[in-house]
Structure 1
Amino acid sequence: MGDTADHQVYDLPQEAYGLFIDGEWRGKPNRSSPATSPATEEVIGTVTMGTEEDVSDAVVAATEAQQDLAAMTAFERAELVHELADAINSEADDLAMWLSADQGKPLTEAKIEVDLAVEMYRDAAENVKRAGGETIPAADPDTRVFTLREPHGVYGVITPWNYPLTIPSEYLAPGLGVGNAIVWVPAPTTSVFSVKLVEVLAETGLPDGALNLVTGEGPVVGEAVVKHGGTDAVGFTGSPETGELVARNAGAKPTLLELGGNGPVIVLDDADIEHAAETVAGGCFTNAGQICTASERILVHEDVHEPFREQLLEHTKEVTLGHPLSEATDMGPLNNESVAKKMDAHVEDAVSKGATLLHGGERSTQLPGNLYYQPTVLDDVTTDMVTNEAETFGPIAPIITFSDYDEAIDIANGIDLGLSCGVFTESVSKMYRFAEQIHAGLININEGSAHWETHTPVGGHSKTDSGVGRIGGQYTIDEMSQVKNVTVNIDSTPK
């Protein structure tokens, strides 16, 4: 593993960014906060800190616009969502640069995220055309029953900083496509990119007020969106702790919550070790491990522990930590100090309780700032260590050894998180056993826990704190709309 000491800067224009409400930009210079790049510490703009009043304005605008969206046909809204995809695609290079600067991920990963977002908008546009109801048999021969699928209305959306484009796209594309108007609150640490995205989308045929952006602190504007009486439904991606608060504040409103995970990946004794080690390394260090489905708990059968450990270590040493604009870089900085401190604490806790630090374990001193964290491998990890019990959300690979399959299942299900899981085995019977017994909403066989195709469902298992509902393709359309039952008496002649 090497650190690239490339100290280049993004050199992007520093502007003051406002809120986007009812089709207009509203600057609030007296309530602005500087935004810096985690990669270079350079100021890349100033962002408006919104208030409850701003949220109320956005909800009012969304309420009016939602009527226009609902009046459009599904095919008209699909065409609009395709137009949004075209707009993102036309500004792909510029958006990728801003995404890298604001979030910190390598430019190569940022470009992949932009391409994936375009695909998500196009997928949503096509799914909207098929979001119909059904005809239901009736007991009365003079009665016909059918269902309609309608939008909820004004949808509050709160998104995190780890994937500032694709995670919002999971909500915005299907939400607008099915006829909801959106009030979007992005994470404060990637709000500059959110503004840049909305600048692009605002140049399309979006009705004024259909998409509103309110930047600011979560406890202020995020909470206001959830609690506002004019918000009809809420979507949130983030930590389980904040998700629980969102659910309480939302009350009886429909909620779509995609919350945290903590792996695991399980390497059985019959696994293809070379494939497993390479795949797990990707799941640990892509996006610097800042993925809710990251491979943050690695359960390895004792019979293959040594060869797996050595191969994982080799793959880790090949990861180049460096400036996101360098072509040699595989992994950029963490996004913010809070997540870096969590990495520090989880490594310290594990080592103090007997874990063996095989690689990394500290921040780099060869790169600008203090957020570049070395890819880290821990062995001899036990279930009482915090890295097993809680989501680290950083570039960490903790290895836990097990001796039999029941023990592996117990360890996997032994915490309160259950978003995704990867299982490596050559056995069909073992595949089914683990797929059926692991408490996770997504089970990948011979893939890492982070593998996901965006048209398929992902979400938390109901026995855990990893969320409510399913995101992905048609499943998001279903979550972000409601079913109305219509009963018709076709013979109104008095008997």
Structure 2
Amino acid sequence: MRFLKGLEVHDRPEAGARLGQMFINGSWESGTGKEWLRVVSPSTGQDVGWLPLGSRDDAHRAIASARENAWKLASMPVWQRAALCQAIGAEIDRRADEIATLLSLEQGKPIAEARGETAGAAKAFRNAGEQIKWLETASIPLEDPAKRALSILQPKGVFGVITPWNYPVALPSIYYLGPGIATGNALVWTPAPTTSLCAMLLMECMIAAGVPEGTVQLVTGEGPVVGDTLVTSPETQGIAFTGSSETGKVIAARSIGKAQLLELGGNGPTIVLDDADLDRAAGCIVKSALANAGQTCTATERVLVDARVHDALVERIVEAVGQIKPMASTDPASKLGALNNEENAGKVDSHLAEAVSLGAKILTGGSRAKNMPTNLYYEPTVIVDVPPDSALHCDETFGPVIPILRFGSDEELYALAAKSPMGLSAALFTRDVSRAFRHAERIRCGVVNVNEASSYWETHVPVGGAAGTSSGTGRTGGRHTLLEMSDLKTITFHLEP
């Protein structure tokens, strides 16, 4: 027996347990791998089921099937693909309670958040189906009077899709599955092992809605095995990945020459200027830091506050955090559920311990929550005097932690903001429009939300890492994802006189 993110891996599942399956070449199967993951709920500590860990052979078979059947979606008229996406959204809505319940158990988030995520997944497919109908291309003016030119959009081919555990239903739907089907690409999807059982339900919805056989494949397993096969296979034309910056760099290097859509880690600053509405700033900071137990790429990961309002802001944040306690994720009243896995919880422990050893002060929280169903619940934490070079400030912590640093000048602010190599999203609180524009344009992030949380986003809005940062390449959101997953082809004509 070995362990994967704190979960046991065995050579066979227990008799009578719920068994996960893969969907390859139009059929459900357990694959050719020799190991099974025992999936235990981070919320309850109870078994959820067993997941087959696929082999490279399973991934190769799925890729071959997708390549063979890619023409079915590619040749489908746009309006028909749009209708298919609408049907998938309707099927998700029909099974929403079932999906949300399993999602909460398997991922660890409160059931209310799981319901919201499931609704977001259905909306994502509907949006993709609507937007693809109006994605127009151009007729291009030419200098040569005997020529005409136009551009069209075509699917890239087979996309390998690798998705994380923090939003295992909504994120694949919004970022990749909905847009991929809408644009006519064949997809081979490998979800994170710790949340692959709810991914199966999403796959069932796509099948029930009528996705052509062989065009969407689900292969469960570990990233270095299944994911790496998708990345390196010469039969995949594109790679879509959301996950850590470290893994993203490996994927980028190993998939050179393919289309890459990579949404990686985030640690964008939340900046509070001296003229900010502190009540609003504190409310947005706490909500963004604690949603999904802080396991969001765009969460409030660090707060940079003008020294003149530091104490007043901290007082408001501590008061707001004091009203939120970890509760069992299955409780309808829960607003703070469990972390997904021991590996991530250990990182939160490590980041806090290092910061404290360097002089930071924990004002509230700072440890695992006691008397909870599992050891994966974390007290919401506010920590001040955070050292600028600490991991808590420079890295993505991915937990319910609010690190606060003060600055005394614009130059100091920009230096602190640039300490982290990531540049996904940021927030800025000020009443001065001129200052808002000046700082928003200076901060190197793909998104800057003014007087709103760093995690605010609507699914048609472009989001992605700033160039030169460790937060990825490409843009997701509405038509922008559709364009990323399409080839723009130019066709010219010579007209006979």
Provide the TM-score with structure 2 as the length reference.
0.95
Aligned residues: 480
Structure 2, unaligned stretches of length 5 or more? 1-15
> Does the Cα contact within 8 Å between 2:389 and 2:419 map onto a contact in 1?
no
> Does the Cα contact within 8 Å between 1:439 and 1:461 map onto a contact in 2?
yes
Whole-Å separation in 2 of the counterparts to 1:240 and 1:139: 45
Q: 1:30 deviation in Å?
A: 4.7
Any idea what the Cα deviations from partners look like across 1:374-427, whole Å, max 9, x if unmatched?
101101112111111100000100000001122112211222100000000000
Whole-Å separation in 2 of the counterparts to 1:313 and 1:232: 49
Are positions 1:325 and 2:322 aligned together? no
Corresponding residue SS for 1:57: helix
Whole-Å separation in 2 of the counterparts to 1:27 and 1:411: 49
Bigger shift: residues 321-330 or 466-475 = 321-330
1:97 corresponds, among 81, 95, 101, to 101
Are positions 1:164 and 2:168 aligned together? yes
2:12 matched to which residue of 1? none
Whole-Å separation in 2 of the counterparts to 1:221 and 1:359: 41
Are positions 1:27 and 2:38 aligned together? no
> Does the Cα contact within 8 Å between 1:320 and 1:328 map onto a contact in 2?
no
Any idea what the Cα deviations from partners look like across 1:107-153, whole Å, max 9, x if unmatched?
00000111111111111111111223210011111100000100100
2:47 matched to which residue of 1? 43
Q: 1:431 deviation in Å?
A: 0.5
Structure 1, unaligned stretches of length 5 or more? 1-12
2:150 matched to which residue of 1? 146
> Does the Cα contact within 8 Å between 2:344 and 2:398 map onto a contact in 1?
yes
1:392 matched to which residue of 2? 397
Letter of the structure 2 residue corresponding to residue 207 of structure 1: P
Whole-Å separation in 2 of the counterparts to 1:407 and 1:335: 36
Moved over 6 A (4+): none
Corresponding residue SS for 2:180: helix
Whole-Å separation in 2 of the counterparts to 1:235 and 1:432: 32
Whole-Å separation in 2 of the counterparts to 1:327 and 1:206: 34
Q: 1:31 deviation in Å?
A: 3.1
Are positions 1:350 and 2:341 aligned together? no
1:4 matched to which residue of 2? none
1:118 corresponds, among 118, 122, 128, to 122
2:216 corresponds, among 208, 211, 219, to 211
Write the mapping of 1:270-281 to structure 2, written as runs, cut at 5 A: 270-281=275-286
> Does the Cα contact within 8 Å between 1:65 and 1:210 map onto a contact in 2?
yes
Any idea what the Cα deviations from partners look like across 1:145-199, whole Å, max 9, x if unmatched?
0001001000000000000011101100011110001000100110111112212
Whole-Å separation in 2 of the counterparts to 1:14 and 1:436: 54
1:186 matched to which residue of 2? 191
Are positions 1:379 and 2:384 aligned together? yes
2:84 corresponds, among 74, 80, 83, to 80
1:308 corresponds, among 293, 306, 313, to 313
Letter of the structure 1 residue corresponding to residue 92 of structure 2: I
> Does the Cα contact within 8 Å between 2:159 and 2:187 map onto a contact in 1?
yes
Write the mapping of 1:47-58 to structure 2, written as runs, cut at 5 A: 47-58=51-62
Q: Give the superposed CA RMSD.
A: 1.1
Letter of the structure 1 residue corresponding to residue 35 of structure 2: R
Whole-Å separation in 2 of the counterparts to 1:33 and 1:372: 22
1:299 matched to which residue of 2? 304
Provide the TM-score with structure 1 as the length reference.
0.95
Corresponding residue SS for 1:421: strand
